[in-house]
């Protein structure tokens, strides 16, 4: 009889525990986010093509734009905004010698890109991406300074090699975009949308389909997105 009641207690305890643990499990299993990010725009045809694809797939993304590319392409920038995408800063000139001369130059470049975006769209963007990534370019002092100006740094954990070689075959881009990610519940995928990135347009619908089939939610990076950057160099 004693054994029976003990068993009964254990079963009840397990049932109670399972009620409390099930929602947590479901939540973490469901939490599959992907942030599609496109650097080096706005360009004419490619950026517009990417916007067309995102629209027909009903997916929102983030564009880290170069300030000096904006004049003459204001309508593309405004299209990003009106269609619900995020616009981030990717420096004004994208010239490494200039932007990485010192911390002050880097901040000036980001501010200049931010001012241009604000003048065109009215958006005060605080999300930034270092050209070629923060790795080796960001130290603690720079990060603190960026934070004091409310900037948030976003690197990536999955990337297409379309920024290194514009002619990377579509099949290779697909493999890169669907590789196992170090953080599969929160993917930041880097791609490019400069004028020469035509293969990126071809592969994009396939990559979107892949993540849709896996149940991923597509999100644009916003001011409230938790920051994501590479390890800071000493
Ligand atoms: Zn870039």
Burial class (CB in 10 A: 0-12, 13-18, 19+), 24: exposed
* CATH number, span 31-218: 3.20.20.370
DSSP structural state of residue 127:
E
Residue 16 Cα to ligand 1 middle (Å)? 52
- CA–chain centroid gap for 191, Å, is 9
Distance 127 CA to ligand 1 centre (A): 14
Ligand 1 centroid–CA 1 distance in Å is: 73
- pLDDT band per the 50, 70, 90 thresholds, residue 31: confident
The answer to whether 156 and 190 have CB atoms below 8 angstroms apart is yes
Task: Give 94 Cα–ligand 1 centroid separation in angstroms.
Answer: 7
Average pLDDT over residues 83-103: 97
What confidence tens digit (pLDDT) does each residue in 5-15 have? Answer: 555 444 444 44
Q: DSSP code of 162? A: G
Residue 127: name the closest of 185, 63, 217 by CA: 63
Residue 118 Cα to ligand 1 middle (Å): 20
- For residue 194, what are the contacts with CB-CB under 8 A and spacing of at least 6? 40, 41, 43, 46, 166
What separation in Å is there between the alpha carbon of 157 and the centre of ligand 1? 16
pLDDT at 44: 81
pLDDT exceeds 60 at position 138: yes
Alpha carbon of 93 to ligand 1 centroid (Å): 10
* CA of residue 59 to ligand 1 center, whole Å: 22
pLDDT tens for 148-194 read 999 999 999 999 999 999 999 999 999 999 999 999 999 999 999 99
Tell me what pLDDT residue 14 has: 43
- Break the chain into its structural domains and give their ranges: 31-218
Residue given tokens 């901040």 in the structure block:
107
Confirm if 211 and 27 have CB atoms less than 8 A apart. no
């Amino acid at each position: 009889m004693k054994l029976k009641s003990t068993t009964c207690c254990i079963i009840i305890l397990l049932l109670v525990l399972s009620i409390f643990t099930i929602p947590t499990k479901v939540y973490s299993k469901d939490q599959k986010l992907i942030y599609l990010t496109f650097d080096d725009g706005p360009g004419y045809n490619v950026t517009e093509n990417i916007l067309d694809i995102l629209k027909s797939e009903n997916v929102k993304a983030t564009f880290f734009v170069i300030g000096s590319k904006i004049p003459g392409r204001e309508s593309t920038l405004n299209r990003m905004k009106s269609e619900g995408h995020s616009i981030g800063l990717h420096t004004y000139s994208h010239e490494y010698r200039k932007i990485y001369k010192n911390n002050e130059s880097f901040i000036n470049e980001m501010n200049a890109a931010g001012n241009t975006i604000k003048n065109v769209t009215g958006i005060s963007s605080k999300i930034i991406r270092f050209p070629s990534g923060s790795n080796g370019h960001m130290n603690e002092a720079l990060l603190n300074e960026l934070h004091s100006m409310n900037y948030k740094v976003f690197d990536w954990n999955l990337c297409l090699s379309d920024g290194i070689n514009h002619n990377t075959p579509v099949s290779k881009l697909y493999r890169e975009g669907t590789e196992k990610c170090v953080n599969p519940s929160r993917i930041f995928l880097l791609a490019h949308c400069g004028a020469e990135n035509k293969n990126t347009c071809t592969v994009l619908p396939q990559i979107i389909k892949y993540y849709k089939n896996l149940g991923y939610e597509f999100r644009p990076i916003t001011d409230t997105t938790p920051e994501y950057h590479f390890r800071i160099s000493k």
